[in-house]
Amino acid sequence: MPHDHCPSCAAPDLAFVAHDHGPCASDALARAIAILAAKGLRLTPVRRRTLEILLEGHRALGAYDVLSRLASEGFGAQPPVAYRALDFLEEHGLAHRIRRLNSFTACMHIGENHTAAFLICRACNAISEAPATPSRAALDSAASAQGFAIESATIEALGLCPACQRAAA
Amino acid sequence: MPHDHCPSCAAPDLAFVAHDHGPCASDALARAIAILAAKGLRLTPVRRRTLEILLEGHRALGAYDVLSRLASEGFGAQPPVAYRALDFLEEHGLAHRIRRLNSFTACMHIGENHTAAFLICRACNAISEAPATPSRAALDSAASAQGFAIESATIEALGLCPACQRAAA
DNA sequence: ATCTATATGTTATATCGTAACATTACAAGA
DNA sequence: TCTTGTAATGTTACGATATAACATATAGAT
């Protein structure tokens, strides 16, 4: 369900475009709070901080990167601390796992019911969450041709963002 | 480039269908030999055996699974032995990496120039290589809307194959 | 205030993957 | 045939990613 009243839905993904990132982050955080409240789930300090860390940029962070940030801020220092927070965020649609990088990124379309496709720049590591509806529909159709029932889909592309293409040329 | 003269191109993927698997494997091996010969590359004993192991079924094997098989047959017993063979096969289109499972599966469409989509049954672990052309086209179009140049795509779906859906019902 | 479910923290270990370097086999030219 | 450069295989050692199992603490309900 796209929100046409909000900037992040109307506009294409800004990951590859210079922009004021503050609103991206604060908007996402506000949505996260609303969604968890609606579901009766708790955005505890570790979880909130983990989400904020992911929201610092359009990139993916490994669990151990997140962990060292958390540890330096007084949270637990062992892997399950990070994995649990990240898994919670992913389970409730606030973050995504980037399989290609064994890492995690904040969801930029919180609250929209979506399959995400990720464009991963191999040069600058920026990650854009692209509209995946058509791609997902095509995948659904290939799956039903074999009688396969999809429960979750992973769609990721590795390549070069516009700026890094120019830099490489 | 589909081969309409060969069974594996004309027919839909057989992973979820009971079938005589012998031809799948021997056909794939024959194609692998032809392709490597054409490129002047060597299908050495480890590489060949690794491919044969992957070709034993429509499923994915972890690098360490492959490694223990290789080791038990007198090949080296250290991880790089398996990873090198697997990476070689992937690089030349004879095998695919399944990101979702951190594992590898034989390519069932060797020699066809394709982006693969994988249907992964979470109950029986069978893996089907589905036609991904439409899905990939949609992804390309989402990428170019952001000026992103895709170099490689990962399209995977987790769910239930027909037989396991019936078993679950 | 107590109870219960949830969340956080720990130790320990499993699993996946690669860097660096020594040794062996191979193919191509002298 | 013999050298010789290159590719392939093997090793040790380690780094990176992830989870099992269990102890402690906290929030919210009664």
Per-residue pLDDT of B54-109, as tens digits, reads 999 999 999 999 999 999 999 999 999 999 999 999 999 999 999 999 999 999 99
How confident is the model over A25-40, as a mean pLDDT?
Answer: 95
* Cα maximum dimension of chain B: 52
Say if residue A53's pLDDT is above 70.
Answer: yes
Cβ-based neighbours of B99, under 8 Å, separated by 6 or more: A99, A100, A154, A156, B154, B156
- With respect to residue A59, please indicate whether it lies within any of the assigned structural domains: yes
Q: What is the pLDDT of residues B104-144, one digit of tens each?
A: 999 999 988 789 999 999 999 999 999 999 999 999 999 99
- With respect to residue A135, please indicate whether it lies within any of the assigned structural domains: yes
Across the interface, whether the CB atoms of B153 and A154 are under 8 A apart is answered no
Task: From residue A19, give the alpha-carbon distance in Å to each of A23, A95, B43, B120.
Answer: 10, 21, 50, 38
Instruction: For chain A, give the number of residues.
Output: 169
- With respect to residue B5, please indicate whether it lies within any of the assigned structural domains: no
**Residue A119 is part of a domain; what is its CATH number?**
3.30.1490.190
Nearest nucleotide, CA B80 to C1' = C18
Q: Which of A113, A139, A160 is the last residue of a domain?
A: A113
Say if residue B10's pLDDT is above 50.
Answer: no
- With respect to residue B56, please indicate whether it lies within any of the assigned structural domains: yes
Across the interface, whether the CB atoms of B132 and A150 are under 8 A apart is answered no
Clarify whether residues A129 and A62 are in a common domain: no
Say if residue B48's pLDDT is above 60.
Answer: yes
Q: Shortest Cα distance from B37 to chain A (angstroms)?
A: 29
Say how many domains are in chain B: 1
Say if residue B5's pLDDT is above 80.
Answer: no
Name B129's bridge partners: B118
Give the pLDDT of residue B168.
87
Clarify whether residues A165 and A149 are in a common domain: yes
Which SS3 state, helix, strand or coil, does residue B117 take? Answer: strand
Q: What is the mean pLDDT of chain A?
A: 91
Give the pLDDT of residue A111.
87
Between residues B6 and A156, the one the model is more confident about: A156
Clarify whether residues A80 and A142 are in a common domain: no
Most confident of A56-60, B12-16, B23-27: A56-60
Q: Which residue of A has its CA nearest to B99?
A: A99
Give the pLDDT of residue A7.
38
Nearest to B139 among A117, A160, A165 (CB): A117
Clarify whether residues A26 and A109 are in a common domain: yes
CA–CA–CA angle B48, B129, B117 (5° rounding): 120
Across the interface, whether the CB atoms of A99 and B156 are under 8 A apart is answered yes
Give the pLDDT of residue B11.
53
Clarify whether residues A93 and A141 are in a common domain: no
Q: Which nucleotides of C are covered by protein (CB under 7 A)?
A: 6-12, 15-20, 27
Clarify whether residues A86 and A131 are in a common domain: no
Give the pLDDT of residue A114.
82
Q: Going by DSSP bridges, is the β-strand pair A149-160/A116-121 parallel, antiparallel, or unpaired? A: parallel
Q: Shortest Cα distance from B140 to chain A (angstroms)?
A: 9
CA–CA–CA angle B159, B164, B166 (5° rounding): 120
Q: Residues by CB within 7 Å of nucleic chain C, which ones?
A: A 41-42, 44-47, 75-81, 84-85, 88; B 42, 62-64, 78-80, 83, 87, 102-103
- With respect to residue A11, please indicate whether it lies within any of the assigned structural domains: no
Clarify whether residues A100 and A41 are in a common domain: yes
- Domain ranges, residue B102: 17-168
- With respect to residue B145, please indicate whether it lies within any of the assigned structural domains: yes
**Residue B29 is part of a domain; what is its CATH number?**
1.10.10.10
Share of chain B above pLDDT 90, in %: 82
Which SS3 state, helix, strand or coil, does residue B127 take? Answer: strand
Clarify whether residues A121 and A108 are in a common domain: no
Give the pLDDT of residue B12.
62
Give the pLDDT of residue B137.
98
Say if residue B9's pLDDT is above 50.
Answer: no
Name A36's bridge partners: none
Say if residue B7's pLDDT is above 50.
Answer: no
Say if residue A11's pLDDT is above 70.
Answer: no
DSSP letter, residue B13: P
How confident is the model over B3-7, as a mean pLDDT?
Answer: 36
Among A146, A150, A161, the strongest candidate for a mutation testing the B interface, having the largest count of B CBs within 10 A, is A146
Between residues A4 and A23, the one the model is more confident about: A23
Clarify whether residues A53 and A80 are in a common domain: yes
From A3-7, A106-110, B135-139, the region with the lowest mean pLDDT: A3-7
Q: Are B12 and A146 in contact (CB under 8 A)?
A: yes
Across the interface, whether the CB atoms of B159 and A138 are under 8 A apart is answered no
Give the pLDDT of residue B2.
40
Clarify whether residues A73 and A119 are in a common domain: no
B99 close to A (CB below 8 A): yes
Say if residue A6's pLDDT is above 70.
Answer: no
Clarify whether residues A127 and A81 are in a common domain: no
Give the pLDDT of residue A112.
86
Give the pLDDT of residue A10.
39
Clarify whether residues A126 and A149 are in a common domain: yes
Q: Using pLDDT thresholds of 50, 70 and 90, give the confidence band for residue B24.
A: confident
- With respect to residue B6, please indicate whether it lies within any of the assigned structural domains: no
How confident is the model over A78-96, as a mean pLDDT?
Answer: 98
Across the interface, whether the CB atoms of A157 and B153 are under 8 A apart is answered yes
Q: Using pLDDT thresholds of 50, 70 and 90, give the confidence band for residue A9.
A: very low
Q: Shortest Cα distance from A124 to chain B (angstroms)?
A: 12
- With respect to residue B7, please indicate whether it lies within any of the assigned structural domains: no
Give the pLDDT of residue A110.
92
B167 close to A (CB below 8 A): no
